[in-house]
Amino acid sequence: MEEISTTSTASGHHARGRITALSISVLLAATSATACSTSSASGSGSGSGSATGTYTVWDPYPQFDNTSDWVRLLSTCGTQAGVTVKRTAYDTTDLTSKVLLAAQQGVSPDVLIVDNPVVSTLAEAGVLTDTSQNHLDTSAVEANLMGAGEYQGKTYGVPIGANTLALYYNKNILKAAGVDPGTVTDWSTLTAALGKVKAIGKTGITFSAIGTEEGSFQFEPWFWGSGAGLTDLASPKAVAALNLWTGWLKDGYATSSVINDTQTTSWQQFAAGNTAFSENGTWQLANAAKAGFPYGIIPIPAQSGGAAPVPTGGEFVTVPQQSNSSRYATSEKIVACLTSADNAYATDTTLSYVAASSAVQSKQVSADAALKVWVTAVQAGKARTGDDLGTNYPKISQQLWTAVQSALSGSASPNSALASAQSAASAATGGK
């Protein structure tokens, strides 16, 4: 096995073609931690000017060191492609800014693993190759997960897996409240369950409504579950979704702390054992097993029943532009190895992700029946940058979380907050 090497000197990113003067602040809004959290960045890498036989990979997993299964897989994939992999790990937000700055410097990693909402922005900037150049095979990937990798009719990268949101519940509390979780199938039955929980002196539900992308990420299942779309933030359906959340606060089913809660602090409240439901993600599975009480999971219900569309988190494996296009063939081999069925299964298990293909999803459920609800949620998922939003998504999302904050704090009604949000989003996106 080839040894994986790391360096401590930050490096750049090469991009052939135009590199636009992108706003890093807009990009960072799109890459706030909506999935598994990571620690401080570790190491850095050199770009495409590396010695022959060395290919660079940048990823957002600094929590994995050189002894981890993930890094061993990178090394193995390099060996199978006949090269040495030089891997650099950054925190998700740091990685995004490094990619932008490096693109302007003219040196790039051969393979870039990046948070899915950023793909369209990097594609617009000319940073990434599309499948006509890199020949990546996306045929096995579920169509709804590929949405985040599509921009202006072209496809960039392959999802390494996905994570998303569902409702964890405390079995002890629901039993004491006389609530059968199987009867929670729409908004009305969920709200009725929250009322029964309050009646026994417990908190109904916790979620994150913080004024960042995390807040939008958590609100989107309810927003989309009403039938609303991100191109019309002020629609009656959108207002209904925000009325749902504000009604829960007004009726005492959720606490006002949700306005400042991240997904982590929201989870901590649920783990304390006094809250019936928690909207959270696959990345909390290990913590749920350590919570000290029996738990279950159900999909987030749509307003009129069924599973609500949920935003998909997770990363895409992409191939950045190189001045020497002959490198793409080897980069494609590395990506194909990383995303092959067997390796995707192992990687997604490590990352607590649901696989991007139905075949591997079935394998995951066969190995762990508890993952079935997560597979169902991912199959109902939507790309945040989908519906041709692309680089407009961060601008719209910022106005959405601002509206949620305004309504939950009581500074504006849901109607007024969303009307202001739509006006600001239209101005920011040129009416698109």
> CA-CA-CA-CA torsion for 340, 282, 87, 108, nearest 10 degrees?
90
- Identity of residue 391: T
- Identity of residue 357: S
Residue 423 lies in a domain: yes
Write the DSSP string, 176-235. Answer: HHT--GGG--SHHHHHHHHHHHHHTT-EEEE----SSHHHHHHHHHHHHHTT--TT-TTS
- The model's pTM: 0.81
> Within this chain, do residues 122 and 244 fall inside the same structural domain, yes or no?
no
**DSSP H or E run through 333:** helix 328-338
**DSSP H or E run through 158:** strand 158-159
Q: Residue 286, Cβ neighbours under 10 Å: how many? A: 9
Instruction: Report pLDDT digits (tens) over 201-250.
Output: 999 999 999 999 999 999 999 999 999 999 999 999 999 999 999 999 99
Residue 95 lies in a domain: yes
pLDDT band, very low/low/confident/very high, at 351 (cuts 50, 70, 90): confident
Does residue 20 surpass a pLDDT of 50? no
pLDDT band, very low/low/confident/very high, at 352 (cuts 50, 70, 90): confident
Write the DSSP string, 380-424. Answer: T-B-TTTTTTGGGHHHHHHHHHHHHHHHHHTSS-HHHHHHHHHHH
> Within this chain, do residues 259 and 203 fall inside the same structural domain, yes or no?
yes
Report how many domains make up the chain: 2
Does residue 51 surpass a pLDDT of 50? no
> Within this chain, do residues 250 and 341 fall inside the same structural domain, yes or no?
no
Distance (Å, whole) CA 111 – CA 58: 7
Does residue 38 surpass a pLDDT of 80? no
> Within this chain, do residues 30 and 119 fall inside the same structural domain, yes or no?
yes
> Within this chain, do residues 269 and 395 fall inside the same structural domain, yes or no?
yes
Residue 13 lies in a domain: no
Residues 6+ apart with CB under 8 A from 42: 6, 62, 65, 89, 90
Distance (Å, whole) CA 375 – CA 372: 5
> Within this chain, do residues 143 and 204 fall inside the same structural domain, yes or no?
no
> Within this chain, do residues 77 and 100 fall inside the same structural domain, yes or no?
yes
Residue ranges making up the domain that contains 205: 165-310+389-429
> Within this chain, do residues 32 and 155 fall inside the same structural domain, yes or no?
yes
- Identity of residue 18: R
> Within this chain, do residues 48 and 61 fall inside the same structural domain, yes or no?
yes
> Within this chain, do residues 158 and 170 fall inside the same structural domain, yes or no?
no
| Neighbouring C-alpha atoms within 13 Å toward the C-beta of 421 | 31
The 8-class DSSP code of residue 283 comes to G
> Within this chain, do residues 269 and 402 fall inside the same structural domain, yes or no?
yes
> Within this chain, do residues 301 and 395 fall inside the same structural domain, yes or no?
yes
Q: Where residue 97 sits, what CATH number does that domain have?
A: 3.40.190.10
Residue 10 lies in a domain: no
